[in-house]
Amino acid sequence: SINDLSDELLIKILSFLPTKVAVSTSILSKQWQFLWMWLPKLEYSSLRYYSESSAPREFIDKYLPLHRAPVIERFSLDLSVEPEYIKRWVEIAVSRYVHDLDIYHSTMDQNIFPSSFYTYDESLQGLLDICPVLEDLSVLLRGECSMGEITVIVPTLQRLSLSVSWCCYIDGYVIDTPSLKYFKLEDWYNSIHDVEIKDMPELREAYVDVVFFVLKSVIGSITSVKHLTICSECMVVALFSNFNQLEHLKLCVCKDHSSDLLGQLLKDSPNLRVLDVFHTGVCWKQPSQVPQCLLSSLQIFNWSGYFGRAQERDIAVYILKNACCLEKVTIFADIVQYSVPHLNMIKELAFSSRASTTCELVFVECPYEMFD
């Protein structure tokens, strides 16, 4: 029977269960009573009480100091409790050499981190300085917060996600992460703020969703990427350096008066193989010279949210006419919502000239969808 298994194996089995389920096994028998207290991963949420008589706050406050695992691999906390409780619990997790710390807490409350988290001041960089082998960092600034300048200087960091909401007041941010391989930046704070991002020579994938003036500061630091997603209300031109390694581009430009991001990126990405475009209102100006990627590398072209408007037709026809290596073009057309004549849309592109004689043109009728 399962009771004949060793405690080590039973703890391993419990580690695959949600914490609240693992805790509930303590009533099975005397052998099971304290097994859950050896779990290397603890995830606490206010969605459900952890015992019949105690709310999560009282339960955690009672049992976390008694937790027996020498190392806590992951400690996740999503509770609406007073900061002093969170400080105490995080202090305990730190004392158990926590590897992965995930805390959701309202920014309206005071600072929740214990003093032992910091080396010289109460700052994010102070915390990062005592994490010499940190590889993955997410900083999500939500709601009405005031953060001053955000500094992220981590030589070992490989993945970074930074999200700044439109109502979070910041002076700016400095990012120096030379080993980064993945970078996600969402910056919707509309007031002018300083942005300094050092070169990321190892970067392979980037997702950039920012207000227009931030894009200019970001783009020169991410030119080593192979996969790039840009969603921007960009209104300035001549932003880009050469993206010689870029192979897959996803582009969403949401403003009707945005600059020619698409034309600029085609020009600056000579080895582009896959192009995904979502509902572009860009001011398309046909390049004076055919971009190198159209002549020698572009193989796949997908357009989501195609409405058949004149400017969109001009872009699609231009790519079909000049992309010599094109293998497949897929047009996801919103025919119902925008009443685009189905047959005319197909004819306009199907009968246009193609540089690639083997190119397959596919139309997919679908509703308007958000870019992903």
Inter-residue contact 161 to 138 (CB < 8 Å): yes
Maximum CA pair distance of the chain?
Answer: 80
Residue 60: pLDDT above 80?
yes
For the chain, helix (H) and strand (E) counts, in that order, are: 10, 16
Decide if pLDDT at 328 tops 50. yes
Sheet holding 169-176, edge to edge: 146-153, 169-176, 194-197
Domain ranges of the chain: 1-117, 128-218, 226-372
Considering the chain, what percentage of its residues have pLDDT values greater than 70?
76
pLDDT at 154: 92
Taking only the tens place, the pLDDT of each residue in 128-138 is: 776 778 899 98
pLDDT for 231 equals 83
Would the pLDDT of 117 be above 70? no
Q: What are the distances in angstroms from CA 44 to CA 13, 104, 136, 256?
A: 19, 11, 21, 45
- What's the token pair of residue 306? 């195609």
What pLDDT score does 118 carry?
A: 43
**Alpha-helix runs per DSSP H in 244-291:** 261-268
Query: Which of 227-231, 236-240, 280-284, 330-334 tops mean pLDDT?
Result: 227-231
> Where do runs of H (alpha helix) occur along the chain?
7-14, 19-24, 56-63, 83-95, 124-129, 212-218, 261-268, 292-296, 310-322, 342-350
pLDDT per residue over 136-151, tens digit each? 998 887 666 666 778 8
Task: Indicate the pTM of the whole model.
Answer: 0.72
**Dihedrals phi, psi of 130, to nearest 5 degrees:** -100, 15
